[in-house]
Every structure is written in C-alpha cells, then in structure tokens.
Structure 1
Amino acid sequence: MGITQWLAVAMIFVVIYGLIKRYETRLVLIGSGLVLCLLSWDLIGGLNAFAKSMTNSSLVMAICASMGFAFVARYTNADRSLVHYLASPIRGLGVLLVPVCTAITFFVNIAIPSAAGCAAAVGSTLIPVMLRAGIKPAGAAAAVLAGTIGSYLSPGTSHNPYVANMAGIDVMDFIAFHAPYSLIIGAFGVVGTLLFCILFGDHKGDANAKVDESKLQKQDDFKPSPVLALVPLVPITILVVGNLWCPFIKMGVAQAMVLGAVIALVLARANPQTFTKEFFNGTGKGYADVMGIIIAAGVFAAGLKSAGLIDTFVQALKESNEIARWGGSIGPFIMGVITGSGDAATLAFNETVTPHAKDFGMTIEGLGGLAFLAGAAGRTASPLAGVTILVSGIAMVSPIEVVKRTAVPMLAATIVCALIMV
C-alpha cells in the first residue's frame, strides 16, 4: 500500500477514537473525509460527495416525512395511547412480563422507529408495571431495551431506504427481504433476555425497586384514545397492504407518512397551526440528525476512496468472502457496542464496501442488511447507547447491569445472521 493508503488506515483509527470519545459524529466523519481528500489532492471529490448526499431525493423524502409523522404521533399522544392499550392486558404475568414487554416494545418500535422515542413511551409505562410485578430494575430495563431492535422493520428507519436505494429495489421489497432475519434477532432478544433475567434472579423481585419519577412522561391531562392508538399503525398498514394485496393504494413511504399525519390531525382534532409546526419540526430534525450522518458518512467514504484504500480493501475481499461476512457483521456490532451508536459505522461500511458486494459473491441487500442489523444489535448491547442510558435512568439502575442481560443474546443473533444472511 502507498503512503496515502496508510494515512487512510490511520484516519480510520482516529475516527474510531472520536466516536468512542463521543465527539460530534458528523464533525468527525466530515473532517476526516475532507482531510483525506485534501491529502489525496482531491478536495473537490469530498465536496461533491457532500453535495450529492444532500440532494438524494429518495432518502430525504422517506426520512424527513417519517420523522415528521413521529413528531405528530407524539404531539397528538397517539404513541402513548398505543402503548397504554398494549400494556393494559399484561399485568399479573409474573416473570413472563419480561418476554411480553420485549415483544411489545419490538412491535411499538416498528410504528415509532426512534429507539429513544419508543423507549421513552414504552418504558414510562412498562417498567413501573414490571417493577410492581416483582421484576428487578435491571431486568425490567433490559426487557424494554431488547425490544428496540424492532425499528429496522420500519420503512421510516434511515437504513431501509438507504440500502434499498443502493440495491435499486423498493423499500418495502428490501424490508420483506430482511424481515425474517430481523425477526430472528427479535426472537433472540425475547428469549435470550428472559433466560438471562432468570439466570440473574430478576423474577425474585427487589423490595427497594423504584422508578425515577422525573424521567417518566408527565400525565398532565392525558386520556388514552382507542382511535388515536391506531394512528401510529396507519402508514405501515398502508405500505404493507398496498404492496402485498391492494396495488391500487400502493404509494411511497413519504406519501404514506403524510397521509397518516393528516388522519392524526382529523382524529385528534388538533390545532392545525401547531400541528403543522410539529410536523415540519420533525422533518427538520430528520434532516439534521439522520440525513446529517448519511451526508457525513458519504464524505468520509469519498476520502477513503480518494486515498485508494477502498480499492485495496475490495480487492482483498474478492480473495475471500468470509472477510466481508464477518467484517460486515462483527465489525458494526463491535462499533455499536463501543460507540453506543450503530449508525455511523454501519453507514460508513455500507457507503464504502456494500456497493461492491457482487464482486465477492454477495448481494447488496444481503451485505447491507447484515451490516445495519449487526450495528443495531451492537447498540442494544452497549452501556453507552442513549436508549440504554434512558431505560436505566427510568429504572434507576446501572447501564452495565442492563446490558449484562442483552449483550450475549445480541451477539449470538449477529453470528447467526452472519451465517445465514449472506
């Protein structure tokens, strides 16, 4: 390898260090990418990558509209109503509350794709229920955390339109492709977390267990509505039914999210002006937080490409697809654990390596799907993840104690998916 390639390798370690130290992700990726482009005498390449990612219409539409709908669901209390009605029938199940709560969180996370947003809505209700039923705080928090892998079945999750666009297929077709593997990871979360909770004696209860009231959602004048509880399911239902059974209602992700938002407005009889502000606040948040990382990963990938490292790496992968198999699974998993986020590492991998999947006997959707599922599993096993800290705070327990119950099931699920997915 030449000097610029070795500099690119060194820069990768700088990026990893920056992510571990929890520096601003977009700054780390964009800065390192532009430095590599500059060292390779190709600064315009990095700037072009920035501009190209900014105007990726399919990604912008799906991600921003989905975040807008998520804000609307929160504003109308549709998300809280859904959680309320799902939680009502499960009281009194004893230790079986753990797998049931994990499954409920998984299901809700499809409708509310933000892991932290879902955990806040679900955890505020289910963690107190589990504590009152005699589940130890760490087990209660782990039950919710393990279910936050469900967002990867949501068309609003950034990775779905990202990989689908790369593979040249419809978002719903890509979700249909990886759905069995996502469900496998979900099953590992349900069963594995239960087994570890039993192993740690979480079903024996803790007389001193309590929740941090300051971290619970304020009840105010909240009154659950069975009609509003259905609103978070509207876009997903439209997309699934339209793609599978009723082609005449088939539409894009953005269109389904906007239609769901309009239905929420009508059913909630909300103030249209406030409602509109909330929707566009969500779209702006989606562009800033989600598209921002995608843009930054694109610039970093451009830097690695300019330095020639990607071509060298792809050539090595052609020698053995086992390197790609484990690099695309264990790599994102480990990065998810040590950084608390599966997004940055996964997007960088999918931007640089996944487009060449066919060169080493794999499909783009297979390798891309494996990478983002592994990254999400790593995040679910990380004590540094924002969602882990959130549920740990509600249950007033150490994040380390929580991930003791989720780490092994998530690692096992990643290994299984690596073996069967590509």
Structure 2
Amino acid sequence: MTYRPISSLFVAQENNIAVILISKASTFIRYIFIPLWQCLFFILGVYKTGETMLTVIELLIGVVVIVGVARYIIKGYSATGVLFVGGLALLIISALMGHNVLPASETSTGYTATDIVEYIKILLMSRGGDLGMMIMMLCGFAAYMTHIGANDMVVKLASKPLQYINSPYLLMIAAYFVACLMSLAVSSATGLGVLLMATLFPVMVNVGISRGAAAAICASPAAIILSPTSGDVVLAAKAAEMPLIDFAFKTTLPISIVAIIAMAIAHFFWQRYLDKKENISHEMLDVTEITTTAPAFYALLPFTPIIGVLIFDGKWGPQLHIITILVICILLAAVLEFVRGFNTQNVFSGLEVAWRGMADAFASVVMLLVAAGVFAQGLSTIGFIQSLISIATSFGSASIILMLVLVILTMLAAMTTGSGNAPFYAFVEMIPKLAHSSGINPAYLSIPMLQASNLGRTISPVSGVVVAVAGMAKISPFEVVKRTSVPVIVGLLVVIIATEIMVPGASSAIADG
C-alpha cells in the first residue's frame, strides 16, 4: 500500500479548490454576468454616452453584491456579518468611484476612509438610541411579562373562547385584521412589527399558530398603507396633483381595503400550505399544563403598550413616545408585583429579566438593523437607485407599460434597500414630469408606486421590520420573506388591477370628468 505525504494531500486539495473556483467563476461569467450585461446594454443604449456606461457598471456592482449577500445568508452565515461586509464593500467601491459616502445631511470627517466608519457610528447612535431602544424596550417588556406570568394568564383566558374555533388559521386572519387596524395608530412599520411581536406573537404561537406564520402576520400589516393622512399619502397626493381628501379617501383607501382583504385570504392558504409542506403540527397549548400564580387581571398587562399608544396619541391625552409608554407599562407591572408580595428583592430580580431581554435584543436585533443600514447606504451611494430610475425613464409612454415598469422598479428598489420610503421618494419626484410628457394621469402612476414601495419592504430580508420580526421570533429573515412573499404578490396584483379599474389612465379623462 502506497502512502502519500501529508503535504501532497494539501496541494491536491488546494488544486481541487482552485479548479472548482475557476469553474464556478467561468460559469457565473458565461451564464449570468455576460447575458445581464448585454441585456442592460440593450435597455439603456449604452453606446450613446459614457454616463450611461457608468450607470450600467453601478447597477451591475449592486446586483453582484446583492446576489453574494443573499447566497451566504441562505447558506446559514450570520446575517449581521454578511450584511456588514457587503455594505462595507459597496461603500469602499463607492469611495473609489468618487461618490460621497455620507448622506448629504451629515458633515464629512475630511477623509473618505473615516467617513465610512463615521456612518457606522451614525447608525449605531440613531438605530441604537431611537429605533433600537424601542426594540430593546419591547423585548425587555415581553420578557418581563413572561417572567411575572402575564403571558401565561393571557393564554389561559384566551383558550376558553378560542377552543370553539378549530382552525388556527382563522385566528391568524383575525389577528392580521387587528394588526392592520393598529397601523392607524403606529405609523412606523418596524415599530408596529416589534409591538405586535411583544403582544400578539406570544398569544398566536400559544394558541397553535406556527412561529413562521405568526411572524409573517406581525411583519405584514404595514405592507399596505391604510392611514389616509400618512406622510407618504400626502406626498403621493401632491405628485398626483389631486386634493388630499379626494386622493386619500376616495381613491387610495378603497384600493387599500380591497388589497388587505385579498392579502388576508392569501395568508390563510399560503401559511397553511407552508405548514403542511414543513410538517408543522398545530396543537393548542394544553392550559392545564400552565401553572401560574398570577391573578386573572394580569392578562391585560401584555396589551398595555397598545392601550397606551391609543390613549396617548395627542387626541385623548398628551402625545407620548412609545418608549415613554413602555417605561410606564413596566413600572406599572413592577408596582403590581410589589403590591402582590411586598418583596422588594423579588421585584428587583424580576426587573433584571427585563434588562437581560433588552441586552439580548441588542445583540440579535439592533446590530442586525445597523448592518442592514450599512448595506442599504452602500447600495444608495453606489448609484443603484439612480440606475433604476434611469431604466424607468428609458421605456415608452404607454400608460399601462410605464405604470408596470415604475411599480416593478419601485418594488425592486424597496426589496434591495429595505426601505419603503426612500425608493418612493426617489421615484415620486419624476411622476409629474413623466405623466405630463406622456399624457398620463399622475394618480395612475403614484397610487400603485405608493403601495409597491411598502409591499417591497415587506419582502426585503434587510428591511427593518423583517429583520426585527425575524430576530424576535428567532427565525431567519428569509423565512419571514418566504412567508410574506405570496400575500405581497397578491396584494400588488390587486392594487394594479384596482388602479386600472378605478383610476383613469389618460390625463384627458380627468379633464373630461
């Protein structure tokens, strides 16, 4: 028997790895990179100007990095680490291409290299101190509710009337409609998502709804804009050149309601299909197994943040920030715990559970949000969004074609950047100009674009709401995206069809009406 030296094994292994890498690289270049390049050349007419060549290069860089990030996250790599590396790579390339790394509102440090690190600092301070603090407070609150037995009491009391409903999916749809109504009070998609995760999610899971389905319900209420007075609706009404009342209540709101109903139906069948495919059993928690000494009225405590948001909205009382409301809720629960046992040490020990819950949220959710922000800024500075806008302006003037192109590009931009506002704000600026030059009703373009930006955010693995919900549910962001994908597609199709039916495409139709 012939033995090979250890060193030769390593050389052979390295040669095999090199061959595999070269083979994969050539396959990627031959079947993906070159066809994509040729397609973009055809669409944009790259032979005309050097500026268009730069647009194509920027778009290709963004696509390659997005594909790489998605591949490694799907393979199970840390999403935080992968997004950080992808975002830093885009920022470095942007700097080498001469782009400003920092947003226009921020002051440069004087050096591009330190500007990149400065932006990470900005994200840590903003997302760790505002949005991040809200997420940490909600996670700490949820942990405290579990510790004092309030969540168990909710399940015990809710299980009695819910036992007459055999299908957990009907309960899921009821929770979805409640969550959509909550979007009227909480305008932030991420804020609403984490609020629902801290309140409705434990209840849904304990009554037999799978974690993936429950997380999808918490992530999708803000996919369709229901509030007629949100900032996006006001901006869209201005771009549509319509009075806000007519645009919001007579046009956008009916379309939104129809889309929400369609998405609820899609959730019912899609979540049931995925649960059957993954062999997830739905067994309601046996309430006899729940042992808690908490009094029955403790069942109200997990919902005090929602009650607080509705009361302290500036109409019935002072307008308070969600973090202020959460502090009040935690203090209220701590006081009740003290009154129950008059044991200060136990109360302080219980609060330690809340603080540890906040720390866990920082590690698992907030840092993921920071990494997603770095990645989104990298896509923005590389010129990815502006490149998509250039593609939109290169198409013809037929109303339905132009509307579909703008909707698809807006949705793709929202999916890649994770923002519902930024893509819409970027595209909405050109709606009046495109509409007037093409003889199209501006509202015909702005309404589906408005909804597409929010729908795209709901199926973005780097959006704040998806990342936060996935982190709190302890599942992959791609699992949440998979769970929300079909309802989002159904919602988008309904929005497009309803717009085609309810909104005239030609601007002359408005004048005639």
Output the TM-score relative to the length of structure 1.
0.64
Q: CA deviation at 1:254?
A: 0.6
Indicate the residue corresponding to 2:429 in structure 1: 359
Indicate the residue corresponding to 1:33 in structure 2: 87
Q: Distance in 2 between matches of 1:80 and 1:417?
A: 40
Determine which of 62, 70, 75 is the counterpart of 1:21: 75
Matched, 1:12 2:84: no
Relative to 1, partners in 2 of residues 1:46 and 1:413: Cα closer, same or farther, differing over 3 Å? same
Matched, 1:69 2:138: no
Residues paired across the two proteins, number:
356
Contact 1:47 1:299 in 2 (8 A): no
Relative to 1, partners in 2 of residues 1:286 and 1:357: Cα closer, same or farther, differing over 3 Å? farther
Indicate the residue corresponding to 1:159 in structure 2: none
- Secondary structure of the residue aligned to 1:353 is helix
Indicate the residue corresponding to 1:100 in structure 2: 171
Determine which of 247, 253, 264 is the counterpart of 2:322: 253
Q: CA deviation at 1:190?
A: 5.0
Matched, 1:412 2:490: yes
The residue type equivalent to 2:76 in the other structure is: R
Relative to 1, partners in 2 of residues 1:371 and 1:192: Cα closer, same or farther, differing over 3 Å? closer
Written as runs of structure 1 = structure 2, the 5 A alignment for 1:306-325 is: 306-317=381-392, 320=402, 322-325=404-407
Matched, 1:369 2:459: no
The residue type equivalent to 2:155 in the other structure is: V
Q: Distance in 2 between matches of 1:375 and 1:419?
A: 23
Q: CA deviation at 1:107?
A: 4.8
Q: Distance in 2 between matches of 1:38 and 1:76?
A: 49
Q: CA deviation at 1:279?
A: 2.2
Q: CA deviation at 1:13?
A: 1.4
Q: CA deviation at 1:353?
A: 3.0
Q: CA deviation at 1:308?
A: 3.0
Contact 1:34 1:43 in 2 (8 A): no
Relative to 1, partners in 2 of residues 1:48 and 1:180: Cα closer, same or farther, differing over 3 Å? farther
Written as runs of structure 1 = structure 2, the 5 A alignment for 1:376-415 is: 408-409=486-487, 411-415=489-493
Q: CA deviation at 1:21?
A: 1.9
Relative to 1, partners in 2 of residues 1:415 and 1:71: Cα closer, same or farther, differing over 3 Å? farther
Relative to 1, partners in 2 of residues 1:180 and 1:218: Cα closer, same or farther, differing over 3 Å? farther
Contact 1:243 1:250 in 2 (8 A): yes
Matched, 1:282 2:357: yes
Q: Distance in 2 between matches of 1:413 and 1:92?
A: 30
Q: Distance in 2 between matches of 1:64 and 1:82?
A: 22
Indicate the residue corresponding to 1:299 in structure 2: 374
Contact 2:418 2:457 in 1 (8 A): no
Contact 1:73 1:232 in 2 (8 A): yes
Relative to 1, partners in 2 of residues 1:323 and 1:118: Cα closer, same or farther, differing over 3 Å? same
Q: Distance in 2 between matches of 1:198 and 1:48?
A: 46
Q: CA deviation at 1:331?
A: 7.6
Q: 1:199-223 deviations in whole A, cap 9, x for unaligned?
A: 99x9xxxxxx97799x999946324
Output the TM-score relative to the length of structure 2.
0.54
% identical equivalent positions? 18
Contact 1:145 1:388 in 2 (8 A): no
5+ residue gaps, structure 1, are 128-139, 155-163, 170-175, 203-208, 333-344, 379-384, 391-398
Q: Distance in 1 between matches of 2:142 and 2:121?
A: 27
The residue type equivalent to 1:372 in the other structure is: R
Q: CA deviation at 1:250?
A: 1.9
Indicate the residue corresponding to 1:149 in structure 2: 217
The residue type equivalent to 1:145 in the other structure is: A
Indicate the residue corresponding to 2:399 in structure 1: none
Indicate the residue corresponding to 2:332 in structure 1: 263
Written as runs of structure 1 = structure 2, the 5 A alignment for 1:53-64 is: 53-56=123-126, 57-64=129-136
Indicate the residue corresponding to 2:28 in structure 1: none
Contact 2:144 2:354 in 1 (8 A): yes
Contact 1:81 1:228 in 2 (8 A): yes
Q: Which has the larger radius of gyration?
A: 2
Matched, 1:326 2:408: yes
Contact 1:26 1:293 in 2 (8 A): yes
Q: CA deviation at 1:245?
A: 3.4
- Secondary structure of the residue aligned to 1:227 is helix
Q: Distance in 2 between matches of 1:89 and 1:370?
A: 34
Q: CA deviation at 1:324?
A: 4.4
Contact 2:176 2:221 in 1 (8 A): no
Q: CA deviation at 1:317?
A: 4.3
Q: Distance in 2 between matches of 1:168 and 1:278?
A: 42
5+ residue gaps, structure 2, are 1-52, 97-111, 183-191, 223-229, 236-247, 341-345, 395-401, 432-445, 464-469, 504-513
Q: 1:304-345 deviations in whole A, cap 9, x for unaligned?
A: 33433333223334565644423454787xxxxxxxxxxxx5
Q: Distance in 2 between matches of 1:324 and 1:146?
A: 32
The residue type equivalent to 2:319 in the other structure is: K
Q: Distance in 2 between matches of 1:306 and 1:318?
A: 20
RMSD: 5.1
Contact 1:37 1:43 in 2 (8 A): no
Q: CA deviation at 1:85?
A: 2.0
Contact 1:19 1:28 in 2 (8 A): yes
Indicate the residue corresponding to 2:49 in structure 1: none
- Secondary structure of the residue aligned to 2:291 is coil
Indicate the residue corresponding to 1:85 in structure 2: 157
Q: CA deviation at 1:39?
A: 2.9
